[in-house]
Copies of this chain bind each other. A is one copy, B any other.
Amino acid sequence: MSSEELAVLAANSSFYRAFAAHDVNAMDAQWARRVPVAVVHPGWAPLFGRENVMSSWRGILERGETSIRFERASAHIIGDAAYVVCLEVVSGAALVATNLFVREDNVWKIAHHQATPMSPPQREAPRPKGPLN
């Protein structure tokens, strides 16, 4: 694994650490400031812009109800951006998340997060002709 990929995975870990700790300030520090940011929480309409994105995190984190951990993260560098795909276990439910990162002042920051619930039977072996899209 390249040092860039390791740095992206470290940023991904920081994101989930802030999430698991319900730490609004730490979460804020993970998000990019110079590129357009967005978030797609499962079931929600997409949210755009730093103010809306952070407001959604404040709502989620301040409730303090969520337990979250991630597994099987893989980092993929595409030019000066990178994406991580990982599994999330959120209060016992399995999701797949994509986290998109950009480098700001040589530090990887998250620009976009999207999570999709995963159907339990698909987790170990995706069926070749699964749900559409």
Contact of A98 among B40, B68, B78, B91 (CB under 8 A): B40
B-contacting residues, A74-133, CB 8 Å: 74, 76-81, 83, 85, 88, 90-91, 95-98, 100, 102-103, 111-112, 114-119, 122-133
Chain B residues contacting A97 (CB-CB under 8 Å) are: 133
Q: Are A88 and B133 in contact (CB under 8 A)?
A: yes
Cβ 8 A contact of A129, one of B59, B111, B128: B59
Contact B78 A35 (CB under 8 A): yes
Distance of A27 from chain B, by nearest CB (Å): 12
Beyond contacts A48-B85, A56-B130, A83-B112: 19 other A-B pairs, Cβ-Cβ < 8 A, are: A36-B76, A38-B76, A40-B96, A41-B131, A41-B132, A42-B116, A45-B96, A45-B124, A47-B126, A56-B126, A63-B129, A78-B80, A79-B81, A80-B81, A81-B81, A85-B112, A98-B98, A100-B100, A116-B117
- If A68-B133, A132-B91 touch, whether A44 touches B85 (CB-CB below 8 Å) is no
Do the beta carbons of B130 and A38 come within 8 Å of each other?
no
Residues of A within 8 A of B (CB-CB), count: 61
